[in-house]
Amino acid sequence: MNENALIFFTRIPVPGQCKTRLIPFLGAEAACALQLAFIADVSAELCETETPCDLVVCFEPSGRRKILESLIAGNARYMPQSGANLGERMHRAFVEIFSLGYRKALLFGSDLPLLRAAAVDRAFASLDDYDCVLLPTFDGGYGLIGLKEPDASLFNLDYDAFSVTEETRKALARVGKTCALLPPALDVDDREDLLRLQSSLLSEARNVCPKTRKILAGLLLRQIQPNEKPPHDLSLPRETRK
């Protein structure tokens, strides 16, 4: 076992149960296909980290775990999420991870297709000097949080608000803990985020997010209007079909 853990926090991709804010724009099947691509691309990128670390997939257990296992690159431990809300689920994940003996842990979501291995390495390194590290997102939240010990006070927040990063920093300050901030990243939740992702990928190397690129190429996003019939011709793994 390594001293460092990467907690990949995600839903099992099932049509109608993931990327729900994109369903009105894309349709349930295409939104699910996008989630599948995000998970595959992010997990492949994590294999490139220089920091020795163990991957723990912490999943919301509505669906078949076999779907995730078919997407995740490399070896991983699988752990179901538990808790009444997002904050409680994240806190319990950290509690479980540190109970296993890990000294540093990063928790991040699957909505960060542009997450690079270098950012993960930088986050782990930041924990040498800080109590917490955050990867802010452009909507005021964060896509990654890193800790050296669990702390329930950091997760008693309204995660639908636009100031989650700032409120987390205030919670840390109240208990005398320090925080490092990484450069902000794009998390993809809604139509505008997806269009930003499409634009961002134009300036990235062609080997960045290959599966996500393939899905986006099939969607022709700028030609789809919110009230148009969504595309349903994307192929999904058999396990995700109802």
**Confidence band for 183, pLDDT divided at 50, 70 and 90:** very high
Taking only the tens place, the pLDDT of each residue in 76-131 is: 999 999 999 999 999 999 999 999 999 999 999 999 999 999 999 999 999 999 99
**Confidence band for 232, pLDDT divided at 50, 70 and 90:** very low
Record the pTM: 0.88
Residue 15 tokens read as 């049509």
Confidence at residue 240, expressed as pLDDT on a 0 to 100 scale? 39
CB atoms within 10 A of CB 133: 25
Contact partners, residue 227, CB within 8 Å, separation at least 6: none
* pLDDT, averaged across the chain: 89
Cα distances (angstroms) measured from residue 218 to each of 26, 34, 40, 41: 11, 11, 17, 17
Confidence at residue 234, expressed as pLDDT on a 0 to 100 scale? 37
Query: Which range among 10-14, 189-193, 215-219 shows the weakest confidence by mean pLDDT?
Result: 215-219
Confidence at residue 221, expressed as pLDDT on a 0 to 100 scale? 56
**How far is the C-alpha of 23 from the C-alpha of 29, rounded, in Å?**
8
Taking only the tens place, the pLDDT of each residue in 118-171 is: 999 999 999 999 999 999 999 899 999 999 999 999 999 888 778 999 999 999
Coil, helix or strand for 195?
helix
What is the average pLDDT across 64-69?
91
Confidence at residue 61, expressed as pLDDT on a 0 to 100 scale? 82
Tell me which DSSP letter residue 229 carries: P
Question: 21 with 107: CB under 8 angstroms?
Answer: no
Task: Tell me the helices (H) and strands (E) count for the chain, helix number first.
Answer: 8, 7
What is the average pLDDT across 172-179?
96
